[in-house]
A and B are shown apart, each in its own frame.
Chain A
Amino acid sequence: MPELLVADLSRWQFALTAMYHFLFVPLTLGLSMLLVVMEGAYVMTGKEVWRRTTKFWGTLFGINFVLGVATGITMEFQFGMNWSYYSHYVGDIFGAPLAIEGLMAFFLEATLVGLMFFGWDKLSRPAHWLVTFLVALGSNLSALWILIANGWMQNPVGSEFNPDTMRMEVTNFMEVLFNPVAQAKFVHTVSAGYVTASVFVLGISSWYVLKNRHLGLAKRSMAVAASFGLLSALSVVVLGDESGYALTDNQKMKLAALEAMWETEPAPAGLTLIGIPNQAEHKTEYAIHIPYVLGLIATRSLDGEVEGILPLVAVAEDRIENGIRAYTAVETLNDNPNDVKAREIFEQTKTDLGYAMLLKRYVDDPATADRATIEKAAMDTVPNVALSFFSFRLMAGIGFLFIAVFAVAFYFVSLKRKVPRWFLYLALYSIPLPWIAAELGWVLAETGRQPWVIDGVLPTFMGVSSLSATQVIMTMVGFTLLYGTLAVIEITLMIRAVKLGPGARILPQGVGGGGPDTHSDAVPAHPRTIQFDK
């Protein structure tokens, strides 16, 4: 039995490093795509302003990209470091997408990103565009593979427990690959990245317009961001993450928790717009209901039922009892792999094996658990309802806001209207919002899956390494200091690069800057200069 304190600390450490890593990922995903669009315009029109626009956003991309790379190494290694039993238990399935991510995606983006920054004078225009495209492709493919891995944690298809090796093993790789939860997550996450980059570009361009600087670059960037952003914002909401929520008991639990729906309602269920979930008393106070809506969204039908939290807890109780039989059978097989009777029981009950392990929080041998302990363990399958409920509402609210923002931006841009100042300010101050929404999305996805690290298969506390609390605290302090320092440096450099603007002399690095432009429409590298592009 692992130590619960170590498990909690390891969870905090994972949350800290993953959420920090994800500050950089969405912008990389989206901005790389926007660079492809902008550089595409340069290749097709040959206009210098598009080249300068691409290089400017490329500089910001570079500052952001390195921290994504730097913090990504931690992600790849800390499964083994902090989640050793998890790595053993599911490495046969979970390791594959991670390795494929390296071979198919990381190599591509990391090998070519150097040419993207340094290859402007060494490559033809189309060849350089191709390099930019392949970097964007690599980033987006890496999202695909890591979400196939994460999707499997949420919906562990195509695999089963092997008592000979005491771990989960793959039985059908295609099911892992085409896991519907993974597909939904991929579209949702990538679209969210595109929204993030669009908001970023729109906001900074708005600031330039407000300051009356770099107008040619700003207007063109706004046009690209508005159209790309509108499409992405629609996609992120419409193709939300919820489509997979009807698949398994635990996915159903996540849905019920984020809706704070304690009991099953007659179909189609109503949606609780807002309220205050009370986990101790199993009710939601001050709830405002909208009839029918949830049933329609969650089941895409009028008669599909959305199950409530408490009925799902009752299901979990049954599965725990079944799981105890599986656990006992595995113990027998461990001593004698040829025990036919135990093998038979195991085959009948193996899908509930993970449920018996929920009892390990309270008893060493699940077979000795009494009724009260089983009930307590079943109640553990309910995640933190209030956290799920509020993070979902805030995230979704921000999502809808973005549709409005981009629709308005698109209106101004496509009709070539002068953009009013209030909107420019709105766009500028919206810059932090996509990051907040993205982080909340992960909070929902990962805390909503608790107490499982692999839904229904392995409880989170079982997955940790045999470390001491001191060791975990040491690395956590180390990461916090290192990451904190780098965040300050990163943001400072980013703001500095934005203030200096395109073609700045003092910013000679990366794609951007590139030193003062020697072309006819180049701007003097003076921060105060107002720029009129052709």
Chain B
Amino acid sequence: MELPLDYATLKVLWWGLVGVLLIGYALTDGYDLGVASLLPFVAKNDKERRLVINSIGPMWEGHQVWLITGGGALFAAWPYVYAISFSGFYLAMFVVLAALILRPVGFKYRSKRESATWRTSWDWALFVGGFVPALIFGVALGNVLQGVPFDIDRTLRATYTGGLLGLLNPFALLCGLASVAMLVVHGASWLVVKIEHGHVMNRAAKFGQIAALLVIVFYAAAGIWLAVTGMGYRIVTDMDPNGVANPLRKDVVVEAGAWLTNYGKYPWMILAPALGFIGSALAFVGLRNKTSLSLIGSGLAATGIVASVGTSMFPFILPSSINPNASLTVWDSSSSHLTLFIMLIVTVIFVPIILAYTAWVFKVLFGRLTTEEANAPGTY
């Protein structure tokens, strides 16, 4: 069967779609992670805590599916990337999983008992469930940008030679902090839009403003670091974008500044980092005035920052630091032509449906949440 889209086009479309899923996750569950990270600091007593928790209570579960589906989509569209990154970051993945597992139970079980110890314990569990993934996702991207120590043998079996501690290098930690700051801004912006005016909102706005400034500082620092240390990889052989998905058939070199060359080649890509800065600035203003500009700004910032990782590296997805030739790229790490096509059809049908019912749920739940409502029977 002749497919209506060629292989190279599908590969690029899937690069974009994986980006859409990651951005979808950052935009939706991102604020849940941020709100959970803020929970112990903006809410001082049980009533306030329930206000914060219930501001995300009815929706976070659907948001988390962006991550789960992102995992499934990686598996389906980029099996090499899924296989090598998930097994390579093994213990870090476990820590993320453990933190994420605490979240559903934290929401559901926290207010099932009156005991203060019980509730405080779950509040900290929710904090861990927000803060730890936010940090590790950033750390992971920081490592991806630097290249990851893996090799692939002739049967395409991958071996990873780094450990958990190797992940925690200074640049990666900087990215981790940028990620936490970004999601805290997003979470604070959500609270400003969603909950009643009062102490909790004031504290959230204050933390959010600090975080917005930190995002700008950390993000700029990461960019400068990238430029100064000359991070980056470049493919030196002629690659056929329509070629088979075998990552061992090319030559790659480490090249200073390669992560910035795309912005010269495709100037429109500058939009991504620009959004990162502009969005953070808008969020700062919105948080200062407590208007919905905050959420628009934090959303734009998250979109731009996540997208900029992709645009800096394109066509690389996961460079190898110990055998650059084995790096995974858009051209040689995808599924087969047919699978990419089928998955595209499925995605084009279902993503609009998902967005439609998600929007409907937002509409049903629209309106500011009061402390009284959040503490009524039937809530978390």
Please give the residue numbers on chain A whose beta carbons come within 8 Å of chain B beta carbons, in ascending order.
2, 62-63, 66-67, 69-74, 76-77, 79-82, 84-88, 91-96, 98-104, 106-108, 110-115, 117-120, 122-123, 162, 164-167, 169-171, 173, 334, 465-467, 471, 474-475, 478, 482, 486, 489-490, 493, 496, 505-510, 513-515
* Docked complex Cα distance between A507 and B378 (Å): 8
Please classify the interface of chain A as helix (H, G, I), strand (E, B), loop, or mixed, using the class held by over half of its residues.
helix
19 new A-B contacts at CB < 8 Å, known A80-B85, A106-B69, A166-B156: A67-B104, A69-B61, A73-B101, A79-B82, A80-B83, A80-B87, A91-B335, A92-B336, A115-B365, A118-B58, A118-B365, A118-B378, A162-B244, A165-B336, A166-B246, A465-B83, A466-B160, A486-B105, A508-B376
Q: Are B80 and A88 in contact (CB under 8 A)?
A: yes
10 A-B interface contacts by CB (under 8 A): A73-B97, A87-B82, A92-B79, A95-B72, A106-B68, A115-B365, A123-B364, A170-B336, A173-B342, A509-B380
Q: Are A76 and B79 in contact (CB under 8 A)?
A: no
A437 vs chain B, min Cβ distance (A): 26
> Which A residues are in CB contact (< 8 Å) with B87?
80-82, 84, 465-467
B95 vs chain A, min Cβ distance (A): 9
Say yes or no: is B59 at the interface (Cβ < 8 Å to chain A).
yes
Q: Are B338 and A170 in contact (CB under 8 A)?
A: yes
Q: Are B339 and A117 in contact (CB under 8 A)?
A: no
**What string of 1s and 0s marks CB contacts (under 8 Å) between B334-360 and chain A?**
011011001100110011001001100
With A77-B86, A111-B65, A514-B378 as known contacts, state yes or no: A98 contacts B111, CB within 8 Å.
Answer: no
Q: Are A113 and B157 in contact (CB under 8 A)?
A: no
Q: Are B244 and A96 in contact (CB under 8 A)?
A: no
Q: Are A110 and B61 in contact (CB under 8 A)?
A: yes
> Which B residues are in CB contact (< 8 Å) with A79?
75, 82, 86
Selected contact of B75 from candidates A63, A87, A509, A515, CB within 8 Å: A87
Quick one: which of B28-81 are within 8 Å of A by CB?
A: 57-62, 64-65, 67-69, 71-77, 79-80
Say yes or no: is B169 at the interface (Cβ < 8 Å to chain A).
no
Please give the residue numbers on chain B whose beta carbons come within 8 Å of chain A beta carbons, in ascending order.
57-62, 64-65, 67-69, 71-77, 79-80, 82-87, 90-91, 93-94, 97-98, 100-105, 107-109, 111-112, 114, 154-160, 244-246, 335-336, 338-339, 342-343, 346-347, 350-351, 354, 357-358, 361, 364-365, 376-380
In this complex, the member of B108, B114, B338, B350 whose beta carbon has the largest number of chain A beta carbons within 10 angstroms is B108
> Which A residues are in CB contact (< 8 Å) with B160?
466
* Docked complex Cα distance between A520 and B64 (Å): 40
Selected contact of B111 from candidates A95, A334, A505, A508, CB within 8 Å: A508
Q: Are B105 and A489 in contact (CB under 8 A)?
A: yes
Q: Are B111 and A509 in contact (CB under 8 A)?
A: yes
> Which A residues are in CB contact (< 8 Å) with B112?
493, 496, 507, 509
B143 vs chain A, min Cβ distance (A): 16
Q: Are A508 and B378 in contact (CB under 8 A)?
A: yes
Q: Are A87 and B83 in contact (CB under 8 A)?
A: yes
> Which A residues are in CB contact (< 8 Å) with B338?
169-171, 173
